[in-house]
């Protein structure tokens, strides 16, 4: 009986093998050593994949680094064609009101548009006042930087028109709107300007915060013109510090912004020269100020920021007008003519903020301390 059972078991096993297509080795349990070797092979493949991925990422990072380095490298310019001269003079233009009618301290909206158009066509490009005084000039090669300034914070510098449902829109004839409109038509004419304000800038007091924020968000700047448009000729230390810190406090009560430039009302400085230092920096009731630039009421272009006689605490300005009875031969159009005839030498950019380029003969006026870590390049203009 036992023999019969054994035979039956053997027959069933053989039938199972035949019907399932299995073999004896498949039925046996796999060798643990084989499993370990297979796992090692899989791990090695994964490590190889990771190494390939790392190499790919390294190549991508290297490519990005190379691209950044290429961006830093300046495109070589034709010096004889561009004729850069970064020892030349820069016009800092002085505007006040933009409205009707035209006057000594008022430019009509149409005349302001005309000014911008002519400046653009003649190769002038705005830069910020801070970039000018710090020598961070990135103006395109062959073009001339200018600085646009507006004194007194007139409402027509930035006017809001109230519409239905308590909404507002920017007056298309105010200075801010005209600058924006021109920049949209000519993106290579940067939206750069400094508005020097008193205690209640741009009228419409309920919109002070909104206006200050808008100007700064657009990349333009706010400057100090004292609380009360003060004449500093007879001022004492306390008067100077109170007037200047007051504007810093007012602005900071509305927006987070560093007011660090000053336009002197009436162009007046203290009679006592010992007080000049308080125009540059000071403090009143816990509010500090420090001005990197101080602007006069002007009549002529100022020097290159790299010039050995450039004084960022006494910057000349030019009246932005063409009315002879007001400008008396020293307005912006007069100086543009002087530049064109060669009576004065204008600043012409080399397009590289890391290099200061001047024709031979101008290198003596360049101050090494003012160019800092920039390279000085001197070339000869071929006749």
Determine, yes or no, domain membership for 122. Answer: yes
| Nearest to 368, CA basis, from 135, 173, 204 | 135
**pLDDT score, position 3:** 40
Determine, yes or no, domain membership for 248. Answer: yes
Determine, yes or no, domain membership for 164. Answer: yes
User: CA-CA distance, 42 to 365, in Å (whole number)?
Assistant: 71
| Residue 285 belongs to domain spanning | 86-352
**pLDDT score, position 62:** 61
Determine, yes or no, domain membership for 57. Answer: no
**pLDDT score, position 1:** 43
- Mind giving me the DSSP string for 161-222? EE-GGG-EEE-TTSHHHHHHHHHHH-TTS----EEEE-SSTTS-GGGHHHHHHHHHHTT-EE
Determine, yes or no, domain membership for 328. Answer: yes
User: CA-CA distance, 369 to 124, in Å (whole number)?
Assistant: 27
**pLDDT score, position 76:** 83
- Bridge partner residues of 223 (DSSP): 196
Tens of each residue's pLDDT in the chain, 383 residues: 444 334 344 333 334 333 344 333 333 333 433 433 444 444 454 445 445 545 555 556 665 555 444 444 445 899 999 999 999 999 999 999 999 999 999 999 999 999 999 999 999 999 999 999 999 999 999 999 999 999 999 999 999 999 988 899 999 999 999 999 999 999 999 999 999 999 999 999 999 999 999 999 999 999 999 999 999 999 999 999 999 999 999 999 999 999 999 999 999 999 999 999 999 999 999 999 999 999 999 899 999 999 999 999 999 999 999 999 999 999 999 999 999 999 999 999 999 999 999 999 999 999 999 999 999 999 999 98
Determine, yes or no, domain membership for 207. Answer: yes
Determine, yes or no, domain membership for 138. Answer: yes
| Nearest to 289, CA basis, from 222, 229, 374 | 222
**pLDDT score, position 178:** 98
**pLDDT score, position 242:** 98
Determine, yes or no, domain membership for 205. Answer: yes
The answer to whether 265 and 244 are in contact (CB under 8 A) is no
How big is the chain by its Cα radius of gyration, in Å? 36
Structurally, the chain folds into a number of domains equal to: 1
CATH of the domain at 261: 3.20.20.370
Question: Based on the number of CB atoms within 10 Å of its own CB, is 305 exposed (0-12), middle (13-18) or buried (19 or more)?
Answer: buried
**pLDDT score, position 56:** 53
Q: What predicted TM-score, i.e. pTM, was given to this entire model?
A: 0.81
Alpha helices (H) along the chain: 2-20, 24-27, 32-72, 79-82, 109-121, 129-134, 175-185, 208-217, 237-252, 277-280, 324-327, 332-341, 368-371
């Amino acid at each position: 009986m036992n023999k019969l059972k054994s035979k039956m078991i053997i027959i069933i096993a053989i039938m199972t093998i035949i019907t399932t297509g299995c073999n004896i080795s498949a039925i046996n349990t796999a060798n643990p050593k084989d499993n370990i070797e297979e796992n090692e092979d899989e791990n090695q493949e994964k490590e190889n994949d990771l190494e390939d991925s790392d190499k790919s990422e390294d190549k991508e990072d290297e490519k990005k680094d190379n691209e950044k380095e290429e961006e830093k490298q300046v495109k070589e310019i034709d010096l004889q064609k561009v004729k850069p001269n970064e020892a030349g003079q820069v016009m800092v233009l002085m505007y006040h009101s933009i409205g009707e009618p035209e006057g000594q301290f008022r430019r009509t909206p149409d005349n302001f548009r005309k000014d911008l158009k002519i400046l653009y066509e003649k190769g002038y490009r705005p830069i910020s006042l801070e970039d000018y005084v710090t020598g961070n000039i990135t103006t395109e090669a062959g073009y001339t930087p200018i600085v646009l300034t507006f004194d007194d914070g007139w409402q027509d510098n930035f006017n809001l028109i109230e519409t239905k449902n308590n909404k507002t829109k920017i007056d298309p004839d105010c200075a801010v709107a005209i600058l924006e409109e021109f920049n949209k038509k000519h993106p290579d004419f940067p939206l750069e300007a400094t508005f020097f304000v008193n205690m209640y800038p741009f009228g419409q007091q309920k919109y002070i915060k909104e206006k200050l924020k808008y100007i700064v968000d657009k990349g333009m700047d706010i400057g100090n013109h004292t609380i009360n448009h003060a004449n500093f000729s007879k001022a004492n230390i306390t008067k100077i510090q109170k007037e200047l810190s007051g504007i810093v406090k007012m602005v900071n009560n509305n927006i987070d912004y560093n007011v660090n430039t000053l336009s002197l009302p009436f162009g007046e400085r203290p009679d006592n020269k010992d007080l000049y230092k308080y125009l540059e920096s000071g403090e009143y009731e816990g509010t500090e100020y420090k001005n990197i630039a101080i602007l006069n009421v002007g009549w002529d272009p100022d020097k290159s920021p790299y010039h050995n006689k450039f004084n960022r605490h006494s910057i000349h300005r030019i009246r932005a007008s063409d009315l002879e009875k007001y400008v008396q031969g020293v307005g912006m159009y007069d100086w543009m003519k002087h530049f064109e005839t060669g009576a004065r030498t204008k600043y012409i950019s080399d397009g590289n903020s890391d290099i200061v380029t001047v024709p031979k003969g101008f290198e003596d006026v360049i101050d090494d301390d003012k160019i800092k870590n920039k390279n000085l390049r001197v070339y000869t203009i071929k006749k």
